[in-house]
Structure 1
Amino acid sequence: MGSLLNLPMIVGGDFHCFLNQGEKKGGRRYSYSEGAQKIVEFLVDNDLHDLGFLGPKYTWSNNKSGNSKIWVRLDRVLMNSEGLRLDSLAMVKHLIWLASDHCPLLLNLTSKMLRPGCRWFRFEDNWMTYPVTWKLIWKNWNKQDYGKPREVLNQKCNRTLKALFFWSRNWLKELGELKISLEGRIKEL
């Protein structure tokens, strides 16, 4: 298996298991099952990372109505570190249901030459200068996670960095709009 880890690898499909309460709506409350533990061990042992997704949050439904309806994210696309290194812009889209109880997944692998930039994001020191980021970090870090300590740490870091990234992007957008507004007012003077 060691030589396979040096090659880009993509694994996708119905894993028939969800990994946290946020991936399920309806039905019994989530418990960290043996199946979820085995999936997480499989991910760690094979250096596989969930690519995330765009579109509807859940990929499967029991097709019942009312309080009996259950929605779950069972389907996912995973890529190893070598694949992410070669194509960090890989993107998964959950499409709408057609004739199945699962929604189809669309994997888009786009060359870096076609789309400049990188979707990797890192912690930026200037985030700590804003008091609101401390609350954002506290809120996201203190959410309950399940799994082995390394998995919990990875989930906390990933969730917190994503929250900081989106806050930063929105904050910079607001600052840009404010700058344009102020420049317009200065021109009027």
Structure 2
Amino acid sequence: MRLMENYQMKAFRDFLDSCCLMDLESKGCAYTWANNREGDAYVKKRLDRAVCSMEWRVAFTEVEVYAFSAIGSDHSPLLISLSLGHAKRRKEFKFEDFWLEEAEYGEIVRDAWLKAEDTNQNLLIKLKRVSGELEVWSKSKFTNAHKRIKSLKKEIQKLTNHPSGGQDRERVQSLKEEIEKLWR
């Protein structure tokens, strides 16, 4: 089995070399995969990578790769950012499924939709108003959950980057479970 793994890794490295591909350094989590086993059987590695050609790297000098904490998977998601441009992007609306569980959700949607002064306005205007009201409501009602999730993700990243074996595995798992509860 070990011989096969070594052969596969050599074949993969040879492929990267033959295509003249280079590894893009990543920020964030140093280890991008863990087997989630107990004790001495616990293994974590940097398996997930972003690669590119030299020409591509020269064309995109501002590129950055971020490895985020693995939540809901044993692999870390990677984000490749092509520029560091700080142009302010308009935030897109994202509906959160857990809003439906809140009693006041229906009232907010109904009230925003039926604003008396403009009941004859077109669908797009009404949808913008509803999404705006939901964003304001969500920000005020769930702001602590978002802050807590951000804090938990930082702690997971810190534990993930620590070279220790499986001793942090239980703590990472409990942090992931707490994040999943907050998402609901």
> TM-score normalised by the shorter chain: which range applies?
0.3 to 0.5
**Which has a greater percent of helix?**
2
TM-score, normalisation: structure 1: 0.41
Give me the TM-score of the superposition, normalised by structure 2.
0.42
Structure with the larger RCO, 1 or 2 (CA within 8 Å, 6+ apart):
2
Larger Rg: 2
